[in-house]
Structure 1
């Protein structure tokens, strides 16, 4: 099913209203004591805000889109087995550790794919009140400012963002990638890292991610002409975890070469 441009714009504006409401609720919740739990291990945190945000987003999606299938982090979505039809991805708080401990460098992310094709993505930088949003039919915006593609710099010309745990243990060639870059950083959250790449503040970002971590970022990055793949250069599996690489085209080639060597 192909949506017309005005239909895509209507969806975009509708989700922006949802995100405005979510930001207000999230900022208010940050003034109170958070309820913090763990999932897979002590570093895999979840809060009452993660769960409340996901419930609210999923309710809004189902009310708005009768054809919606939802892939979301905290268990309130569907057990999706394929990418047929309207598939929405929801990350209610991306970077929960940052949210709990630093109160910054976290995001709320939503994406829409139709028949496995990227349509729209939204990354809300909650603290800075900026939504990065758009898709291949309408372009990419920071709030209302249209973004232009970042410069196609090589790995040696820019900063690369990497998963701290995998860098520490030298996995996937991350140690060699960090040494070859002009500089490297560890942000600890997918949304803020994707933002830096699409804004041209970093030439690349790689980490192990779940679908809700990379779905929105992939829409925005590809729309801006950036390369997105797994660490072996293959297309991402939209329904399972991947070692994701998003980068300028030149840095992407540099990083793949270092990983393979």
Structure 2
């Protein structure tokens, strides 16, 4: 399976390199902006055109694969059997629209329900994080080492702003126990930070395409990715997810448990 992993890894890097080149041109162009679930849940014409291009490219290369995608160009996936691609064309659309930085594009690939290969591009930084359990994780081709397993008190955390404001699941206590809170507005950028040790925890309500790529890469690097009950996540459902070092996740799960 290593050869298959390497093949898909090269495919994802090439694809997201093209996506990055296009989005860097698109970022300052006039955008058609609509809302989805609420006024802060934005979608643009570039989200849709980018996803359409990604899905078409995947289908051409892997016609038997199924695709879970944010903007509706993928399949109605009910099973994790076979090769399943999760596509988030522009992660951090608000950042893409408002500040023209700190947004990403992400593709996670699962084989028979197990994390297989993934890639995340921080578009404006031109950094692609890619790989999987068979081959390791790389930043622009340079292999990454596992982040240190440090404790909550010694690291910064990223938690959904609304969750902290409402103290949902004791998140304010988690923040107080840490070195401080950061809110970045883009899952792909947060995953990059957690993988490189800049932050030790990411806790947020994530949809499958928000989570898929980051889960593959983080777990490959020895980080923990679980639901708030400490159980493995269901990749076909949206849920609150806890990502971080082994020590931090254990501590946060206990804090979350005490909120009941």
TM-score by length of 1: 0.97
Q: Aligned to 1:121, what secondary structure does the other structure show?
A: strand
Deviation of 1:95 after TM superposition, in Å, equals 0.8
Give the drift of 1:142. Answer: 0.5
Residue in 2 that maps onto 1:178: 175
| CA–CA separation in structure 2 for the residues paired with 1:172 and 1:54 | 34
C-alpha deviations, 1:196-229, integer Å up to 9, x for none?
1110111110000000000000000000000100
**Cross-structure match for 2:137:** 140
The Cα of 1:189 is off from its aligned counterpart by 1.4
What is the SS of the residue equivalent to 1:256? Answer: helix
Indicate the residue corresponding to 1:16 in structure 2: 13
Alpha-carbon distance between aligned partners in 2 of 1:231 and 1:105, rounded to the nearest angstrom: 27
Residue 122 of structure 1 deviates from its aligned partner by 0.6
Q: Which aligned pairs between 1:75-154 and structure 2 lie closer than 5 A?
A: 75-154=72-151
The aligned length equals: 258
Of 239, 242, 259, the residue aligned with 1:242 is 239
User: CA RMSD of the aligned region, Å?
Assistant: 0.8
Cα drift, residue 75 of structure 1: 0.8
Preserved CA contact (<8 Å) 2:137 2:217: yes
Displacement of 1:31: 2.8
Q: Measure how far apart 1:132 and its partner are.
A: 0.4
Partner residue, 1:217? 214
Query: Are residues 1:198 and 2:195 paired?
Result: yes
How far is 1:66 from its partner? 1.7
Q: Return the offset for 1:7.
A: 2.2
Match of 1:26 in 2: 23
For 1:229, the equivalent position in structure 2 comes to: 226
Report the Cα offset of residue 127 of structure 1. Answer: 0.5
Distance 1:53 1:119 in 2: 23
Where 2:158 maps in the other structure, the secondary structure is strand
Once the two structures are overlaid, the 10-residue window that deviates more, 179-188 or 126-135, is: 179-188
Contact 2:12 2:118 in 1 (8 A): no
Q: Kindly state the Cα deviation for residue 19 of structure 1 after the two structures are TM-superposed.
A: 1.0
Q: Distance in 2 between matches of 1:70 and 1:97?
A: 24
Query: Structure 1: 5+ residue runs without aligned partners?
Result: none
Distance 1:175 1:188 in 2: 18
**Shift of residue 67 of structure 1?**
1.3
5+ residue gaps, structure 2, are: none
- Residue 143 of structure 1 deviates from its aligned partner by 0.6
Secondary structure in 1 aligned to 2:240?
Answer: strand
Aligned partner (choices 41, 46, 50) of residue 49 of structure 1: 46
Query: 1:105 deviation in Å?
Result: 1.1
State the shift of 1:245 in Å: 0.5
- The equivalent position to 2:60 in structure 1, one of 59, 63, 77, is 63
1:168-208: per-residue Cα shift (whole Å, max 9, x none)?
Answer: 11111111111111111111111111111110111110000
User: For residues 171 and 186 of structure 1, what CA distance do their matches in structure 2 show?
Assistant: 16
